[in-house]
Structure 1
Amino acid sequence: MVTFLFGISMGEIIIVFLVVLLLFGANKIPEFARMLGKGMNEFRKAADDIKREFEENTSDLKDDLHDARQYISEQGQDIKEDIKRAGDDVKDTFEEGQKDIKDRVREETEDIKGVMDDASKDVYGLDEDGKRDEAGSTKESDENEDKDIIDTSDDEKK
């Protein structure tokens, strides 16, 4: 079964045609068909007008919606860029701080190494070139000699 307009099949259209033929007669069918055609034409025009009006009214809303989407998209992009810039600033600050700390640690390590070298030279009695000084004595041996002198002077007093 083939359906045409508004879910009406061919058989139903034939039955309606026969009823109209019986009610109005053969002379009135062309006039009735003209009225039906005009009515359908006006119905289409009215439907088209409604559709056009609806599209005109909604086109403003669509434009507003498009503008709102565009604005939100731009704002989102600006926020992303701000977050990226802030992240880059934090990263740069962190890297600078890390570099400063490494430089300080390196300087302090060099200072400590210098102090340790000086202390070991003093302990072993080395001069700046790492050789024993001319007297050949070390502070440690000088201190031991001083202790021996003090000990002998204590023994003499007794």
Structure 2
Amino acid sequence: MTDDDGFPDDEGPGDAEFGADLLEEELRQAAAVLDPLPAELLQVAMDAYALHDLDARIAELTFDSLVDAIPVRGVEDPPRMLTFQAGELTVDVEVTDDGLLGQVLPPQSAHIEVLGGPAAAHPLTVDGMGRFTAATPPTGPFALRLRAGGDVIVTEWLRA
């Protein structure tokens, strides 16, 4: 015999929890068939988790020309200037239609990767003066991962 909610009268508290778990699993399976997770989104999520590095320091965005700069008359499409700070380390980046141009200060040997959503990270070469360039501009959200002297520093994610 059942009561008004459709469950048997002799159902105990554990049975209701089992029924809720079963319903949740059925809904999960239906969602996987009717509204599957896009492969690109899954890859972005996996890449974001891979960035989860407890030893990495987050470089704080201290200057963004879109927000902080004073407009200059006559300049129609100025490059976007970004400055990130992590302790004593500063990373200056210029984002243009031609790519990225930047410098690590104080100048030092470093490895930089441009992270950009589902695309693979693009490694950049840093010269003796701390300068680096990327020939292609980021096309969507991007971040920089810097490895210098045993430290791992990751910038905030920004839109190009």
The structure that is helix-richer by fraction is 1
Q: Is the pair's TM-score, using the shorter chain for normalization, greater than 0.5? A: no
- The TM-score bracket by the shorter chain reads under 0.3
The structure that is strand-richer by fraction is 2
Bigger Cα Rg? 1
Structure number with greater CO (CA < 8 Å, separation at least 6) is 2
TM-score, structure 2 as length reference = 0.20
